[in-house]
């Protein structure tokens, strides 16, 4: 597959959400059909022979990447939603944010014991969200096949939080 300059497709917004922060706006990728197609095709190539039995996509931008990839790989899409958004029997996991805590849930029935689940989000910052998803998957008897994101921010040390799991990102930013 031809390489694509993904960095050019990602909008950088200085001083957002506060002064001194350079925000990497992944939403600009979704408005660029060439960038979005390249991402999905690249992810398909990366995972088509990896014995993936399901994709868990994290609300909300993880859904955008997870849905077409699940369709291409022919596997179920499992949604990790904010607490209170799923109607069935769920498992939940809380995790720390910069200012406070959040909770994600998944439907218990959507995760088959023994399945190899790929967890997808748009961006990996500290790794807390993805670790919460991994904990739920493992409590339900499935295995975490790895983590995939478009953007990684390794200077926030997500590799320490996600130690022992395969982590794939398409582009990494190392801070300024």
Residues acting as catalytic residues: 61, 98
For residue 146, the Cα-to-chain-centroid distance in whole angstroms is: 10
**3-class secondary structure, 23:** strand
Tokens matching residue 48: 């088509």
Total Cβ atoms within 10 A of residue 80: 29
SS3 per residue for 115-145: CEEEEEEEEECCCHHHHHHHHHHHHCCCEEE
What is the rounded distance in angstroms from the CA atom of residue 13 to the CA atom of residue 33? 21
Nearest in space to 144 (alpha carbons), one of 174, 122, 117, 114? 117
Nearest in space to 83 (alpha carbons), one of 66, 69, 100? 100
């Amino acid at each position: 597959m031809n390489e694509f300059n993904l960095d050019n497709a990602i909008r950088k917004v200085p001083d957002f959400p506060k002064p001194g922060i350079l925000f990497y706006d992944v939403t600009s990728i979704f408005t660029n059909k060439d960038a979005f197609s390249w991402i999905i095709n690249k992810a398909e190539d990366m995972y088509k022979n990896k014995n993936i039995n399901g994709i868990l996509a994290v609300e909300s931008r993880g859904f955008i990447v997870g849905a077409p990839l699940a369709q291409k790989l022919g596997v179920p899409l499992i949604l990790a939603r904010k607490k209170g958004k799923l109607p069935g029997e769920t498992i939940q996991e809380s995790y720390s944010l910069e200012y406070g805590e959040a909770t994600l849930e998944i439907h218990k029935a959507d995760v088959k014991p023994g399945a190899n689940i790929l967890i997808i989000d748009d961006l990996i910052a500290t790794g807390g969200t993805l670790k919460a998803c991994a904990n739920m998957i493992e409590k339900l008897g499935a295995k975490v096949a790895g983590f995939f994101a478009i953007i990684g921010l390794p200077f926030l040390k997500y590799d320490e939080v996600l130690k022992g799991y395969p982590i794939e990102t398409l582009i990494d930013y190392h801070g300024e």
